[in-house]
Amino acid sequence: MLSKNKIKYIQSLKDKKGRAEHGVFVAEGNKMVSELLQSMPCSLLVATSGFLRENIVPEVGELVEVTENELCKASFLKTPQQVLGIFVIPSCQSQNVDWDSSLSLMLDGIQDPGNLGTIIRLADWYGIEHIICSPDTADVYNPKVVQATMGALARVKVHYLDLPEWLANHTEIPVYGTFLDGENMYAQNLSSNGVVVMGNEGNGIRQEVAKYISRRLFIPTFPPGQKSSESLNVAVATAIVCAEFRRNLLIKML
């Protein structure tokens, strides 16, 4: 049975302040919770008997079996599934990452939780293990972001850092960014390593970050010159850019 205090505690984790105070975040859904259970410490698992029958649950801090009605009282979702987990927020040590030999994403002021979650999921799909975010980017452990990642948080590490400072200390790494006045992305020889900067939904990449970008890319419209939308959604643009980087890498490998 789920006590009123437990429900109150879970509900407090909707807010960034509550998550920071307790050092945990909430994930919901059978697939997502099952994936996170394999890679992150779980302090509390709230699950129905159906979930517990069908899944092997590793050791967790506390396990509470509930009915579907009880789960509804704690859930952040309109239509809860069979399980809710509270996971310990991992410590990401950026100084231990080999930035030189890998491709990473850098997000400059992404505000929409859905966009951030989708980008993390895209990074997972394209084998990008690290994302660097500006401090004003949406909180990765916001419940809406967590749901949009569809479990990709089990494999993708998100670092919140001062972007200009980080770039100033990594001048040997190729830095790419998307701009309307950039070079046609499909005509470029893209490296297998480096950092790809994606900007804010409305304002793009800030000048203090843009000055460190060595390769300015443009995603061309088709057919060239035909009137089209002014811009792409940042998550869609990220998918196109990541796909082209990986296509270039595949060609080099063949």
Q: What is the mean pLDDT of residues 250-254?
A: 85
Tens of pLDDT along 128-152?
999 999 999 999 999 999 999 999 9
- pLDDT at residue 94 in the model: 86
CATH code of 4-88, in short, is: 3.30.1330.30
CA pair distance 117, 115, nearest whole angstrom: 6
- pLDDT at residue 124 in the model: 97
- pLDDT at residue 40 in the model: 94
Domains of the chain: which residue ranges?
4-88, 98-253
Tens of pLDDT along 149-163?
999 999 999 999 999
Say whether pLDDT at 229 is over 90.
no
Task: Tell me the whole-structure pTM to 2 decimals.
Answer: 0.93
Residue closest to 252 by CA, chosen among 175, 173, 193: 193
Q: What is the mean pLDDT of residues 44-66?
A: 95
- pLDDT at residue 130 in the model: 97
CA pair distance 69, 164, nearest whole angstrom: 49
- pLDDT at residue 177 in the model: 97
- pLDDT at residue 182 in the model: 94
DSSP state of 172: T
128: part of which helix (H) or strand (E)?
none
98-253 is classed CATH 3.40.50.10860: no
Percent of the chain surpassing pLDDT 90:
87
Q: What is the mean pLDDT of residues 30-57?
A: 95
